Amino acid sequence: MPIQNVLVVGGGITGSVLSLALAQRNVTVDLVEISPRWFGVGHGITLQGNALKALRSVGVLDRVLARAVPFDRMRLLAADGEAMTELSTPHTGGEDLPATAGALRSDLQNALCDAVRAHGVEVRLGLSVERFEQTADHVDVTFTDGSTGRYDLLVAADGIHSSMRAMIGITTVPRPVGMSIFRVVAERPAEMDCAEVYYGGPRYKAGYSPISPDRCYAYLLDENLDASLIGPRAPLALLRERGAGYGGTWGKIIGSLPDDTAVDYRWIESVLVDGPWHRGRATVIGDAAHACPPLIAQGAAMCAEDAVLLAELVTGEGPVEEALDAFMARRLPRVRMVLENSLRLAEWEINPGTPGADPARIMSETLHSLTAAA
Ligand SMILES: Cc1cc2nc3c(=O)[nH]c(=O)nc-3n(C[C@H](O)[C@H](O)[C@H](O)COP(=O)(O)OP(=O)(O)OC[C@H]3O[C@@H](n4cnc5c(N)ncnc54)[C@H](O)[C@@H]3O)c2cc1C
């Protein structure tokens, strides 16, 4: 019998897109989000065409693009800001969509939250799964507030540090990649018309993207610094110190940030569940199953593609477990390719001068191969 109700755990990009895609196929969806408030943090995100295609398929693209900034190229610069070359970005979502759009994460998440609620999904905040048991036909869930529910399918979309992963019986854990990132949202200088990346400076790299008519997102990729710095309020002075040596527009942006700017600092991690993503009727998807360092800006695209395909396959006529097997068989080669290429780029950043290193080629080859349907 086709599935009728699904529990989605986690209301990030994956869980939100999945909830929408299922609700649009007349499945009853409960979404539980551990955070008591449901919103996107204010950082920027680069959405490639294949992410935009997934957002279009669940009906939120127009709202996202109303504030996002589309662009179809990336400029590579020297550390002093001198332009070296310009790369055109493949249209991974098809020629009728922008190659890339820079967006504020909060704009994206707000569009998703509003659409999820408008589609009648039961959203419960400040809640998680305490435990679950399953039979061949259903999953019985006890939530952290003591309430219970019976579902045809449980989907854990609770991110790279998923606690559901272990609860489902998957032992894979994330590992640090060996690089960290400082991120800020800043005023967008008038001259910024696409993403720019600075190579050859004192750190792994620096860069920025436009994310709204008046805002941009700037970052610095660095070695792993003291773990006590990790969080949304790293010292701006430290970002300035670590970024000294980068000029051009990047230097101007960082130099003119107000003192109270929220600087997010974190170590970059990756994970790949390289075996079945499900046990019976409980599965992980999105970052909980695979998360790559953000060097090709494909993480959210992989998540949104997962969500759209999973909804399509589990609402077919066959048994749920067969659909989950088919889902992973379709997704694993694609997410593995993105992950391995992102890790290779990270390795080249960490070990400059690696023979044969050619980041522009790997980025271009990866994006070109993603133009094939998910
Ligand atoms: C520094 C950085 C930059 C990035 N830049 C880009 C980019 O430019 N482009 C791009 O495409 N991708 C980018 N990514 C990747 C992208 O952000 C992720 O792939 C994507 O956001 C993951 O979405 P998700 O919904 O799977 O997980 P998450 O966004 O982690 O969402 C998980 C949700 O589950 C909730 N949750 C957690 N535990 C529980 C629980 N036990 N019960 C209930 N709810 C729970 C969380 O509160 C959260 O809301 C970047 C990643 C990083 C780290």
Same-domain pairing of 31 and 103: yes
The rounded distance, in Å, linking the Cα atoms of 204 and 346 is 9
Same-domain pairing of 329 and 208: no
Cα(369) to ligand 1 centroid in Å equals: 24
Confidence at residue 347, expressed as pLDDT on a 0 to 100 scale: 95
Q: How many domains does the chain have?
A: 2
- Whether residue 152 lies inside any domain: the answer is yes
Cα(81) to ligand 1 centroid in Å equals: 31
Cα(287) to ligand 1 centroid in Å equals: 6
Within the chain, which residues score under 50 in pLDDT? none
Cα(161) to ligand 1 centroid in Å equals: 9
The rounded distance, in Å, linking the Cα atoms of 208 and 194 is 8
Testing ligand 1's pocket by substitution, the residue of 8, 13, 123, 335 carrying the most ligand atoms inside 8 A of its CB is 13
Same-domain pairing of 115 and 162: yes
Same-domain pairing of 230 and 207: yes
Same-domain pairing of 162 and 226: no
The boundaries of the domain holding residue 213 are 177-268
| Minimal-distance CA residue to ligand 1 atom 20 | 300
CATH of residue 16's domain is 3.50.50.60
- Residue finishing a domain among 268, 283, 302: 268
Q: What token pair was written down for 257?
A: 């940030």
Cα(325) to ligand 1 centroid in Å equals: 24
Confidence at residue 173, expressed as pLDDT on a 0 to 100 scale: 98
What residues flank ligand 1, with Cβ below 6 Å?
9-15, 32-35, 45-46, 51, 128, 157-159, 163-164, 181, 286-287, 291, 294, 297-301, 303
Q: Which atom of ligand 1 lies closest to the CA of 158?
A: 34
Q: Which atom of ligand 1 lies closest to the CA of 35?
A: 47
Testing ligand 1's pocket by substitution, the residue of 116, 287, 310 carrying the most ligand atoms inside 8 A of its CB is 287
Rg (CA), the chain: 20
Same-domain pairing of 285 and 350: yes
C-alpha dihedral, 222 to 224 to 229 to 235, nearest 10°: -20
Q: Which atom of ligand 1 lies closest to the CA of 32?
A: 43
Testing ligand 1's pocket by substitution, the residue of 17, 20, 31, 33 carrying the most ligand atoms inside 8 A of its CB is 33
The rounded distance, in Å, linking the Cα atoms of 225 and 46 is 25
Long-range contacts of 344-349 (CB under 8 A, 24+ apart): 345/293, 345/295, 345/296, 346/177, 346/178, 346/179, 346/268, 346/293, 346/295, 349/179, 349/204, 349/205, 349/221, 349/295
Same-domain pairing of 12 and 61: yes
- Whether residue 85 lies inside any domain: the answer is no
- Whether residue 190 lies inside any domain: the answer is yes
- Residue finishing a domain among 241, 268, 295: 268
Same-domain pairing of 192 and 156: no
Same-domain pairing of 115 and 257: no
Q: Edge-to-edge, what's the strand order for the sheet holding 44-48?
A: 44-48, 100-104, 69-71
Same-domain pairing of 182 and 307: no
The rounded distance, in Å, linking the Cα atoms of 213 and 211 is 7
pTM: 0.97
Same-domain pairing of 137 and 213: no
- Whether residue 91 lies inside any domain: the answer is no
Same-domain pairing of 232 and 290: no
- Whether residue 343 lies inside any domain: the answer is yes
Q: What token pair was written down for 55?
A: 């957002």
- Whether residue 218 lies inside any domain: the answer is yes
Cα(259) to ligand 1 centroid in Å equals: 28
- Whether residue 115 lies inside any domain: the answer is yes
- Residue finishing a domain among 209, 234, 268: 268
Cα(71) to ligand 1 centroid in Å equals: 23
Cα(160) to ligand 1 centroid in Å equals: 7
| Minimal-distance CA residue to ligand 1 atom 9 | 297
- Whether residue 89 lies inside any domain: the answer is no
